[in-house]
Structure 1
């Protein structure tokens, strides 16, 4: 075989490999939602599924893989092939709060490559509509009496940290332990616990609560934004004298395993720009208090790292690091 022939074969092989890569995706893509039905992550994922599927051009197989405050589904993606066919709807709890709080978490941020963050949410603090807690002052008084309980989507989750942070800001001593924490399996279950009276209080993403507030089942006592949130009819943290609570925000993004190829990440960036521009998606998410903002892969990774560092400091300040 001549060098000329060998060169032609190599060139053909490289061309075929490039063509094969350019065909991604060739089959359906598995999309893991690491929290249960009805929570903020599930709502966001299923709302964007239709426009995102249209942009991708292949079916998206949506699956709730729940447990351990988002860790179970995250590990499933961490251990998947880095080929773009198993992706994760990551959330502030699974990839900012969990890494900040849990010393034995089976993954780190370096185990994932984020292709986007597309949604930012304020937090809202709510009670059941028939609760006798009418203000944050009432919440604080009950907590100081040792009689307040709050729900969350799991130990070490965003709502767990949020409630402790809010109570600490309002002056409750030993806020991480003074109120009774009632962890649930997911955001939907955390809301249900407040509705059925199992827990008094919940601080979580506005997107998971908007429907309950709109239909009169829940009453918002505060939102963690500089400006009021449409539909919540509640004072802002800043208006109550606690602008530091504005750093408590949620987000939703999409990630693959570490090692996800550059060209695959670039395709996801294009798809997300198209999907998040869908008017119906934007209308539905904004009605839930969400801010739609699509970040490119590099910006998303930088944003999440900053969020992690912010929450890690809060965890250290509140003494909430979980070592076991």
Structure 2
């Protein structure tokens, strides 16, 4: 009995030391959550990270028993908000809506990024976002061929909007231009704070086209304010059967570029917190409101295990690192 008690005491002390090293106590992890959770979207309101965060928060708040509050922390292609989470206490009260741009593309292309692709605790993927290239409804470009011909005929004259260098919107155009045998300067990038602002810039006539995630633009496309010219999906979209695929238009490499959202935490997030969120996300994945939200904007549900999320994130980082080398985009 005495030896057993000593072993239990020893384990308790060890658990306490480990928890202290992580900056939290075992009791806090076991009682998680007992206060509101901040979910940082690293791009501007109206963009894909904002949508994914709010679509999740609306359902998760009810399931997890505490308010989940979305906070937009924008700037530097999503790295400011991402860095804030990577430096946050690992207690589960500050989480990140991870994005392909901020978590894979930027770290792959820019050696000065203040974090690495895996400097986070990966909880799950949330959704995938096809990329669609669009123009304003009154633009003279009726097809993707029209737009490509205009870029060839007027190199450097047409502008396109992005959420910043190294984002999905930027890389999609770079991949397209490269496959067409055109330099990066054939079309000029105009950076904005987020996908929502980039979309607004197109509607305002500040740029001629944008290759953005469908989730940000589906309402304007369905409403007729924008004309979709091509999709990055292997097959035509069910809601937009008249929009040709990238492969049909001779720019099949565009399929490599896809937007996505995930749920990340700071490094060292306790297993109890990760497991809590995994249990919540299993219910989220079946929730009609969450599914309906994704369907409304053309997002594809993609909730995964932490292990599958890390595997996917690694593959994305390696893909963009390779693309960056091929396209001479690394710095």
- Alpha-carbon distance between aligned partners in 2 of 1:4 and 1:271, rounded to the nearest angstrom: 39
**Alignment of 1:156 onto 2:155:** no
Question: Which one of the candidate residues 181, 189, 199 is aligned to 1:191?
Answer: 199
The answer (yes or no) to whether the contact 1:276–1:292 under 8 Å persists in 2 is yes
Question: Which one of the candidate residues 172, 182, 187 is aligned to 1:173?
Answer: 182
Cα RMSD of the aligned pairs, angstroms, is 2.3
The answer (yes or no) to whether the contact 1:224–1:249 under 8 Å persists in 2 is yes
What TM-score results when the alignment is normalised by the length of structure 2?
0.90
What TM-score results when the alignment is normalised by the length of structure 1?
0.92
Question: Which one of the candidate residues 301, 319, 323 is aligned to 1:310?
Answer: 319
Q: Secondary structure, in 3 states, of the residue corresponding to 1:31? A: strand
Greater mean deviation of Cα atoms: 91-100 or 3-12: 3-12
Look up the match of 2:22. Answer: none
Look up the match of 2:280. Answer: 271
The answer (yes or no) to whether the contact 2:145–2:249 under 8 Å persists in 1 is no
Q: Secondary structure, in 3 states, of the residue corresponding to 1:219? A: strand
Q: Secondary structure, in 3 states, of the residue corresponding to 1:156? A: coil
- Alpha-carbon distance between aligned partners in 2 of 1:290 and 1:9, rounded to the nearest angstrom: 49
Shift of 1:238: 2.1
- Alpha-carbon distance between aligned partners in 2 of 1:222 and 1:133, rounded to the nearest angstrom: 12
Shift of 1:263: 2.1
**Alignment of 1:258 onto 2:267:** yes
Look up the match of 2:256. Answer: 247
Alignment of 1:17-166 (within 5 A): 20-144=28-152, 145-146=154-155, 147-166=157-176
Look up the match of 1:212. Answer: 220
Greater mean deviation of Cα atoms: 287-296 or 218-227: 287-296
CA 1:188–1:13 in structure 2 vs 1: closer, same or farther (change >3 Å)? same
- Alpha-carbon distance between aligned partners in 2 of 1:38 and 1:52, rounded to the nearest angstrom: 20
Look up the match of 2:9. Answer: 10
Q: Deviations over 1:227-264 (max 9, x none)?
A: 11133331111222333322211110010111111221
Shift of 1:22: 1.9
Structure 1 gaps, min length 5: none
Q: Secondary structure, in 3 states, of the residue corresponding to 1:115? A: strand
| Number of residue pairs matched by the alignment | 319
Q: Deviations over 1:79-118 (max 9, x none)?
A: 1011111100011111111111212111112311110002
Shift of 1:25: 1.1
CA 1:5–1:237 in structure 2 vs 1: closer, same or farther (change >3 Å)? closer
Question: Which one of the candidate residues 208, 226, 229 is aligned to 1:221?
Answer: 229
Look up the match of 2:21. Answer: none
Q: Secondary structure, in 3 states, of the residue corresponding to 1:126? A: strand
